Structure 1
Amino acid sequence: MCRSVEVLQAVLAKNDGLAAELRARMAGRGVTAVNLLSSPGSGKTALLELVLRRAGERGTASAALTADLATENDAVRLARSGAPVKQVLTGGLCHLEAAQLSAHLDGWLPDGTRLLFVENVGNLVCPASYDLGETLRVALMSVTEGEDKPLKYPTAFGAANLVVLTKTDIAEAAGFDEAAFTASVERINPGVEVLRTSARTGLGVDALLDRVLAVADGAAPHRPLLAADHLARHGHDHGPDHAHAPVHGPSHEQRPDHDHGHDHGHDHGPDHVHASVHGPSREHTTAHEHTTA
């Protein structure tokens, strides 16, 4: 177990170095990158399509890179906004890494792009551990997912600069307890803003774009507490043999993460290290650019 943790730490450290380089390159080009994390079915693709369309209407040059294990459905939907879109097929890998993102942006991201939205693989475990060189990290969840989800996934929500609640138009029908959800978010990430949205009604679309543009204009994003701080405060005790793997978010600080298992159906043996850095030559990772007709 100790060897596995050491390997994971080395992999994440390498990823952090690449992410720092990528962040500097994008800053030099005037690009603000937004990393979107959520479970499958949260509605982030529908919401992102509206944000991209609204950005275009405002004259803000935006682009999107969307990652998925299979199908190009999300890229086709996002391309309807008129923004440049690239689909990355990970071929089974449950998250994006800085090396992958850098390779896919080279030669593709149009000059003059101000906002780059990265729609990460639908998963709240693995993607939360990898810094992509983003400026802003956003954790999304829908009203159908349960008010305590932030507590179940403390790294994803604890390292977020902004939390977005989706599908609020069906909150009443779903029996969603918003007060309990807000309390869960505050417990895991004190002071973080929670933005209510609905892709169906358009609620919160302009507000979300405004928040991103404010950061692009130099406003400091919410700085989350280290996971170590809030985990200690909330009494997580796994015993002396429990191993914590460092998680590196946009602030480049190490955050201990819990290994509670993955929600994407992988069956790993006891010696499995759930991390790897894949460069652009990785055979199972492909990318396709999508444009509107």
Structure 2
Amino acid sequence: MCTVCGCANGETKIEAGHGHGHHHHHGHDDHHHDHDHDHHHDHHSHEHVGPDGKVYRHTHGDDHGHDHGHEHEHGHGHDHGTIDLGRGPAGTEVPGMSQTRLIAIEQDILAKNDSFAAVNRQLFAAKGVFVLNLMSSPGSGKTTLLTRTLTDLKGRFPMAVIEGDQQTSFDADRIRATGTPAIQVNTGKGCHLDAQMVTQAVGRLPVETGSVLFIENVGNLVCPAGFDLGEAHKVVVLSVTEGEDKPLKYPAMFAGADLLLVNKVDLLPHLTFDVARMIAYARQLKPNLRVIEVSATTGQGLEDWYDWIGEGLAKAVATR
């Protein structure tokens, strides 16, 4: 939805290296407010992951704003008691906008983001920096897992963190308490980080050659999935205190992930959470998804997680 709703418009606050924040009018105003005439002359194809986790491909040509009535019927499911607004080609519905127009707006926003992501990726590759985009819902234990990771890996290789939240610097302060350089990005009304925010943050953060950069995204299982930050891998953290059906409810997030960390497994004796079922759901969306069960409290599974990071860093350094 963030690819069409413009929720990132407004001010983003990124800390300076000395801790003082800078405000940036950040968003996509120059991209999606000029589509009223609906002129799309380029013949091109577009792929996106739909709400069901499937990849849809659409070809767009010379449509001059001709809205076809059937585009507005996708939200009416055949199951009684269900209104499905994500069945159309755009994967969402907005009152007054056709599916064709929504797709065009999405392409416009993502094209700008992807250009920044490409610059970020080139910079990281040149310096041999292994970059991970950590995503989860709020309360998954992502920050606690990250602080444990930074503490345990201190001295093995250089690390840095970009911390994303809508407000406050609480999590960045926790990261810095481990001795790791971190910069806070407050997204305001925005519910995810984007590649331009990462570009700005990296300019104020000491990212060393041959280091690991953790980007802790805003807690949200929806919007961060759609935005490439220039990372090497997307890592999803799902705690056992959440529903085991989360992968099917938020398919785009799990379909795009390279690693799933099942967190807080020390609590399993007190819960009815079915880990095997959750993993099976996730692998319906991404058959080769790597899964590691971890606990920041007991340390279970952390060495596997650390080995995975170390292997990724070694490859990044070897190919720079």
TM-score (norm 2): 0.66
Corresponding residue to 1:27 among 120, 125, 128: 125
- The runs of 5 or more residues in structure 2 that have no matched partner are 1-97
* Residue equivalent to 1:45: 143
Alignment-mate amino acid for residue 178 of structure 1: V
User: Does the alignment pair 1:218 with 2:218?
Assistant: no
Following TM superposition, by how much is the alpha carbon of 1:51 offset from its aligned partner in structure 2, in angstroms?
0.9
Cα distance in structure 2, aligned partners of 1:68 and 1:171: 28
Corresponding residue to 2:169 among 72, 76, 81: 72
Cα distance change of structure 1 residues 113 and 86 upon mapping to structure 2, 3 Å threshold: farther
**What value does the CA root-mean-square deviation take over the aligned residues?**
1.4
Corresponding residue to 1:11 among 109, 112, 125: 109
Corresponding residue to 2:253 among 156, 160, 167: 156
Following TM superposition, by how much is the alpha carbon of 1:180 offset from its aligned partner in structure 2, in angstroms?
0.9
Determine if contact 1:37/1:124 at 8 Å carries over to the other structure.
yes
* Residue equivalent to 1:234: none
- The runs of 5 or more residues in structure 1 that have no matched partner are 220-293
* Residue equivalent to 1:93: 190
Cα distance in structure 2, aligned partners of 1:16 and 1:110: 21
Determine if contact 2:210/2:313 at 8 Å carries over to the other structure.
no
Cα distance in structure 1, aligned partners of 2:174 and 2:236: 21
Following TM superposition, by how much is the alpha carbon of 1:80 offset from its aligned partner in structure 2, in angstroms?
2.0
Corresponding residue to 1:205 among 288, 302, 310: 302
Determine if contact 2:244/2:273 at 8 Å carries over to the other structure.
yes
Give the ranges of 4+ consecutive aligned residues of structure 1 lying more than 6 Å apart after TM superposition: none
Following TM superposition, by how much is the alpha carbon of 1:113 offset from its aligned partner in structure 2, in angstroms?
5.5
Corresponding residue to 1:145 among 242, 254, 264: 242
Alignment-mate amino acid for residue 118 of structure 2: A
Q: Map of 1:260-271 to 2, 5 A cutoff?
A: none
Residue 154 of structure 2: SS of its match in structure 1? helix
Cα distance in structure 2, aligned partners of 1:187 and 1:112: 37
* Rg comparison, structure with higher value: 2
Cα distance in structure 1, aligned partners of 2:192 and 2:209: 27
Relative contact order (alpha carbons < 8 A, sep ≥ 6): 1 or 2 greater? 1
Cα distance in structure 2, aligned partners of 1:4 and 1:18: 22
Following TM superposition, by how much is the alpha carbon of 1:178 offset from its aligned partner in structure 2, in angstroms?
1.2
Determine if contact 1:51/1:206 at 8 Å carries over to the other structure.
no
Cα distance in structure 2, aligned partners of 1:77 and 1:175: 31
Q: Deviations over 1:100-154 (max 9, x none)?
A: 1001111422433510000000001110000000011101110011111111111
User: Does the alignment pair 1:171 with 2:275?
Assistant: no
Residue 217 of structure 1: SS of its match in structure 2? helix
Alignment-mate amino acid for residue 171 of structure 2: D
Residue 28 of structure 1: SS of its match in structure 2? helix
TM-score (norm 1): 0.72
Cα distance in structure 1, aligned partners of 2:236 and 2:204: 28
Cα distance in structure 2, aligned partners of 1:167 and 1:52: 17
